[in-house]
Amino acid sequence: MSGKPRLTYINGRGRMESIRWLLAAAGVEFEEIFLQTREQLLKLGQDGSLLFHQLPLVEIDGMKLVQCRAILSYIAGKYNLYGKDLKERALIDMYVEGISDLMQLILMFPFSPPEAKEKKIATIAEKATERYFPVFEKVLKQHGQDFLVGNRFSWADVQLMEAILAVEEKVPSVLSGFPQLQAFKTKMSNMPTIKKFLQPGSPRKPPPDENYVATVMKIFKLD
Amino acid sequence: MAGKPKLHYTRGRGKMESIRWLLAAAGVEFEEEFIEKKEDLEKLRNDGSLLFQQVPMVEIDGMKMVQTRAILCYIAGKYNLYGKDLKERAWIDMYVEGTTDLMGMIMALPFQAADVKEKNIALITERATTRYFPVYEKALKDHGQDYLVGNKLSWADIHLLEAILMTEELKSDILSAFPLLQAFKGRMSNVPTIKKFLQPGSQRKPPSDEKSIANVRKIFNI
């Protein structure tokens, strides 16, 4: 049964946000189901809908896909955002995995105790400006093209754009030493599908707040 | 420049072991350069060989690949262990993510304090027998085939075998409730390339001991 992809998660960014970004960037409309109670999650598990009893869940093309990377890879492949051959795919995978490591710090940030938050922001800033952003600055400078891989829009560009905006929310001046990334950010923002996603009323979720943290703790029963 | 892939890592399993498994199962000979001390890692970093300053790093087909998953995906794709189409690839990806989560929990154990470690061993056993292994047992039961996806050997099968053996090292009877996984383990162990990898003298690495863990802590500042 075809139709729009259907995303099941909580009403917040978490591990689903990268999937929302990629679908939106690909110009794919999707539906969303937001869980509000733990019982709803357990019921999904009992239904057999969740392979490993975990979210995110994306129903697409007759499959119930779980595991972020599996979902993202499928979407990237389906919508031609995964390069033209194995080697381009390798570059995209490397870039996406690196950015993922940076995004992991941001993902976990809301769950750190208040006294640790300042230090965590410093770590995010350090990793972004010393380990990750220099790599992409250099890539863009070296080939002088608009996109990271193969002179063509790909998953890597979407992921980098998401990461830049997410880090900027914590460290507003983070791109000050990276002119190529500043230009990249502007170009990405002006791509029609991304521009639409960045406007109010899109499926893009706001930064996590206390309410989000409480919901996650309740539904996923984290200690 | 062609030639054998060259792996850069410490002498232990860590994040490189899944890569060794996959290359070996694919029948690909590879070389290894071991990071024995901090200076070796620093040299790789200063050479500009490590995109994000981290290992694993694998020199393959003219690339210096980093990021475990990227490397594994490339090898799987190159050696036809990644399914025949996007949907099979999605299933392989899902299965591999599951075994990755399970093996990740086990890999973290040597770095944990004794009380945390004990708690986590119990958690790993529970997860293995209630969350992960049932999925693969059911997959094999549902289609009745020898391999997890597409009736053909894939990365998912190799990764599952690695996970089974690693979990058995923790609890030897972990497969007692999973007859199909026991049969799977037997079959997979007899695949010629895998059989060779499981024999002494292969490039398969042993479980870490205290000395190697101490060295890893020193090299990576953990």
- B168-211: per-residue pLDDT in tens? 999 999 999 999 999 999 999 999 999 999 999 999 999 999 99
Q: Which two tokens stand for residue A151?
A: 């002179």
C-alpha angle A147-A151-A155 in degrees, rounded to nearest 5: 50
Long-range pairs, A86-89, Cβ under 8 A, ≥24: A86/B74, A86/B77, A86/B78, A87/B61, A87/B63, A88/A149, A88/A150, A88/A154, A89/B73, A89/B74, A89/B77
Comparing CB atoms, the residue among B51, B93, B135 nearest residue A69 is: B93
Segment A68-78 shows an average pLDDT of 98
Which is higher by pLDDT, A3 or A74?
A74
A132 at interface of B, judged by CB pairs closer than 8 A: yes
Q: Which residues pair with B63 in a beta bridge?
A: B60
- In a 3-state reduction of DSSP, which class is residue B60? strand
Q: Which burial class, exposed, middle or buried, applies to B168 when counting CB atoms under 10 A from its CB (0-12, 13-18, 19+)?
A: middle
The pLDDT of residue B19? 98
Could you tell me the pLDDT band of residue A1, with boundaries at 50, 70 and 90? very low
CB-based contact A52 B132, cutoff 8 Å: yes
- In a 3-state reduction of DSSP, which class is residue A38? helix
The pLDDT of residue A161? 98
CB pairs under 8 A between A and B: 75
What's phi and psi for A47, nearest 5 deg? -60, -15
DSSP conformational letter for A131: I
Could you tell me the pLDDT band of residue A55, with boundaries at 50, 70 and 90? very high
CB-based contact B86 A51, cutoff 8 Å: no
Separation of CA B56 from chain center: 12
What's phi and psi for A88, nearest 5 deg? -65, -35
Contacts of B110 (CB under 8 A, 6+ apart): B208, B213
The pLDDT of residue A221? 78
CB-based contact A90 B97, cutoff 8 Å: no
Q: Give DSSP secondary structure letters for A74-125.
A: HHHHHTT-S-SSHHHHHHHHHHHHHHHHHHHHHHHGGGS-HHHHHHHHHHHH
CB-based contact B89 A53, cutoff 8 Å: no
Q: Which residues of B touch A98 (CB under 8 A)?
A: 51-52, 66-67
Integer Cα distance of B76 and B83 in angstroms: 9
A97 at interface of B, judged by CB pairs closer than 8 A: yes
Q: Which residues of A touch B2 (CB under 8 A)?
A: none
Integer Cα distance of B59 and B74 in angstroms: 12
B contact set with A (CB within 8 A):
51-53, 61, 63, 65-70, 73-74, 77-78, 86-87, 89-90, 93-94, 97-98, 101, 131-132, 135
ipTM associated with this complex: 0.95
Distance from CA of A215 to the nearest CA of B (A): 23
- B69-116: per-residue pLDDT in tens? 999 999 999 999 999 999 999 999 999 999 999 999 999 999 999 999
How confident is the prediction for chain A on average, in pLDDT?
96
Asked if residues A203 and A5 have their Cβ atoms less than 8 Å apart, the reply is no
Could you tell me the pLDDT band of residue B1, with boundaries at 50, 70 and 90? very low
Q: What are the Cα distances from residue A62, in Å, to A27, A151, B82?
A: 20, 33, 20
